[in-house]
Structure 1
Amino acid sequence: MTLKSPRTGGLLALIAVIAVLPAFLNNAFQYEIAILIGFNAIVCIGLNLLIGYAGQISLGHGAFVGLGAYGSAILTMNQEWNPLLAMVVAAVFTGVLAFLIARPILKLKGHYLAMATLGMGIIISIVINTEDQITGGPDGMYVEGLSFMAEQTYWYWLVGVLLIFSVWASMNLIDSPIGRALRAVHGSEVAAEVVGVDTTRFKVMIFVVSAVFASIVGSLGVYYSNFVTPDIAGFFHSIELVVMVVFGGMASTFGAVIGAAILTLLPQFLTFLHDYEHLVFGLILMLTMIFLPKGLVPSLAGVFKKGDKS
């Protein structure tokens, strides 16, 4: 990234927003929404690398968030491990599991791959729900938080720094030879293999990276909220994450961030509609996909580029 590149400008704008935003947050609820946006954005950045750049759909990514959350919760509460060590171990376990899963299922393409990742997510969700002696079952489980993160503002700055780092790491990965290989895989796996790209290796690698992103967020989320339920690994959470990526714009790091921000905030503005909240939510998404098919950020960027040329 060069200092004059749009990506650098976007990163500086993100840093400025995170630095200034606390001046406009007036209560604990608003801080909680800001922190939740950060958590969702970090997961979506990793998922965007998989879907947007490598072209590999995943409908079970909520399961990796759940593995991080429950892994940290079980090791912390049942085994009395240090929370940070538990988070690292949960991330390693999730990465290894993702590696073992990725090699067979990433041989599939299109809707076959989507169904395979969906099945993976459902299996993990069922295990979390049924192993009630370990996970607490449908009722969930209480988790002690991080003692040195007692203030909500501490969490805000921690999540803000992690979000900035995630955006920076993602953009550098995209600009690297690995990023070019991922785009080649997305364009045509056959053509990529002809020019010497090990497509299986790169697909598996980015699947593992995105799973570890999700696991770390799951661990931090459970320490922040002090409670976890199986919903975190459920099908609807996985779909929600995919929608955030698609809505913001696939193959756009800032699109993933903005998509996560808008779709996390939107339900807060639709609560007055009560029973019609989900209907309006779906209508907004449908209209966006019709009129902004590439996603919000790439579509708006295209409009501005046309305006500059004219």
Structure 2
Amino acid sequence: MQKRAYFGLYIVIAVLAVLPLVVPNSFYLDLAIRMAINAVIVLGLNLLIGFAGQISLGHAGFLGIGAYASAVLPTHFGWHPLLAMGAGAAVTGLLAAVLARPIFKLKGQYLAMATLGLGIIINIAIRNEATWTGGPDGMPVPAMGLMGFELTSDKHWYWVVALMLSVSVWASINLIDSPFGRALRALHGSEVASQVVGVDVVRYKVAIFVMSAVFASLMGSVTAHYVGFVTPNLADFFHSIELVTMVVIGGMASVYGSLIGAVLLTALPQALATFEGWETVAFGMILMVCMIFMPKGLVPTLAAKFGKGD
């Protein structure tokens, strides 16, 4: 399994290296950047949902914290963008760590509602603090600079997010095959059985929730700097549902399922734009068909069909 996983990583790196050479114009390069950003977020979310079996319907709120940290701190306080990004990730991790223990005492629909409420609270706070965040209209984000070099073009940003995606896939593969990853899978299978064999259930739940939240915060900052403008829509409920859908469609507990789900659901709205008003209906129908005929997700279903593990 480890060899197959690393073979998949080599393919991902090769595709990322070749892609800028073959895309016909900047529109497709921009789409590739957004796919990579979503893929990193979904990798972290899949560790929480797919491997640990813990639902989160408010994950876009963590993106909002990272994005607005990268907008507010440099604009109003003169912080360096990298320092602001790190501060956003630290605040997100601390918030997730503090709230995870009471939240993960809940199960099932109660857990889903608690995480949903957390995301909604973050979104409302962003919208209401208009003095700092610009309110519903959003605010501009200063350009990102690295060692005196300013990231301005799509190609610059492509290589940054391609590197982040490659590192995230590598880290996910190693995490899953580590004792920590095996504890997460045991937790998903049965919390009672995990406790019996000595797994600290609460500690692992908190750790993976914090990790996935920090993933989201960092990519929220990247999105903010890449786009150059941020609005509360980045942190709204519908974005959270979109991220969870990417996990489910690609395949829960599948690293490469996360990538496929992010790529497909980022590209699909663009492909359906020619339906002129019916794209939402077509999008919903495609999702329904996928879930009816491939309930475990695309990658696990195809892997089972052709007799290969993820």
User: Aligned partners of 2:160 and 2:125: how far apart in 1?
Assistant: 31
1:292 counterpart residue number: 294
**What TM-score, normalized by structure 2, do the two folds share?**
0.97
User: Aligned partners of 1:129 and 1:92: how far apart in 2?
Assistant: 22
Q: How does 1:9-20 map to 2 (within 5 A)?
A: 9-20=7-18
Instruction: Give 1:6 deviation, angstroms.
Output: 1.1
The match for 1:41 among 21, 39, 42 is 39
For 1:7-47, what per-residue CA distance to the aligned partner results, in whole angstroms no more than 9, with x for missing partners? 01110110111011112212221111000001000000000
Aligned-residue sequence identity (percent) comes to: 59
Q: How does 1:76-95 map to 2 (within 5 A)?
A: 76-95=74-93
> What amino acid maps onto 1:171 in structure 2?
I
> What amino acid maps onto 1:201 in structure 2?
R
For 1:143-186, what per-residue CA distance to the aligned partner results, in whole angstroms no more than 9, with x for missing partners? 11124212211110110010000000011000000001000110
For 1:180-231, what per-residue CA distance to the aligned partner results, in whole angstroms no more than 9, with x for missing partners? 1000110000110011100000000000000000000000111111100000
User: Aligned partners of 1:194 and 1:243: how far apart in 2?
Assistant: 33
User: Aligned partners of 1:158 and 1:102: how far apart in 2?
Assistant: 31
For 1:77-127, what per-residue CA distance to the aligned partner results, in whole angstroms no more than 9, with x for missing partners? 111100001100110000000101111001111111000000000111011
Q: How does 1:1-310 map to 2 (within 5 A)?
A: 2=2, 5-147=3-145, 148-305=150-307
User: Aligned partners of 2:151 and 2:125: how far apart in 1?
Assistant: 31
> What amino acid maps onto 2:106 in structure 1?
L
Instruction: Give 1:71 deviation, angstroms.
Output: 1.1
Q: Secondary structure at the match of 1:172?
A: helix
> What amino acid maps onto 1:9 in structure 2?
F
Q: Secondary structure at the match of 2:276?
A: helix
What root-mean-square deviation, in Å, do the aligned CA atoms of Structure 1 and Structure 2 show? 1.2
What runs of 5+ residues in structure 2 fail to find an aligned partner? none
**What TM-score, normalized by structure 1, do the two folds share?**
0.97
User: Aligned partners of 1:102 and 1:165: how far apart in 2?
Assistant: 26
